[in-house]
Amino acid sequence: MTNSQHKENTNRHDDGFSLVELLVVLAIIGLIAGLALPQVLRYLGTARTGTAQTQIKSIESAMELYFIDNGQYPSDQTGLLDLEQAPTGASNWNGPYLKNAGNLKDPWGKPYLYKADENSSSFKVSSLGRDGKLGGTGEDQDVSN
């Protein structure tokens, strides 16, 4: 075998990856993704629930400022919108207490639920979680103040 023929033979084997090598690499990547993806999705769900809790605390703070100025919390009829726009007859309103309160959505894209008691001396702000139904666990759990 001449020197040029030997170079030609060795170069042919170094030209790229074989199909088997590519399949092994793809299988390894698939295995790693299959193990890591559920953990990543669990963290995403926990982050959304945490975000809802943080947003509800912000709404609570705005409600407390509203209460200090007006002596009561907004009614069920007007709800969170009163934090953004002065309700009729609110002479001490000093807002806006929370920008875009009327359009505020939970991390799952649903509006927050607001419920004041009969004499507007307390309130509840809640999100029904990912499923939009009462109860649930994980990402489907209800979050409220």
- 9 located within any domain: no
- 79 located within any domain: yes
Check if the beta carbon of residue 98 is closer than 8 Å to that of residue 62: yes
Distance CA 54, CA 61 (A): 11
- 83 located within any domain: yes
Q: Tokens representing 12?
A: 């042919």
- 2 located within any domain: no
- 111 located within any domain: yes
Predicted TM-score of the model (pTM): 0.66
Chain CA centroid to CA 66, Å: 26
pLDDT 10s digits, 55-68: 999 999 999 999 98
Q: 45-49, 74-78, 103-107: which has the minimum mean pLDDT? A: 45-49
Distance CA 71, CA 63 (A): 11
pLDDT 10s digits, 9-44: 555 556 677 888 888 888 888 888 787 777 777 777
Domain that holds residue 135: 19-144
Q: What is the CATH number of the domain that holds 112?
A: 3.30.700.10
- At residue 11, the pLDDT reads 53
- 45 located within any domain: yes
- 6 located within any domain: no
pLDDT surpassing 60 at residue 93: yes
Number of domains the chain is built from = 1
Distance CA 21, CA 53 (A): 48
Cβ neighbours of residue 136 closer than 8 Å, sequence gap 6 or more: 128, 129, 130, 142
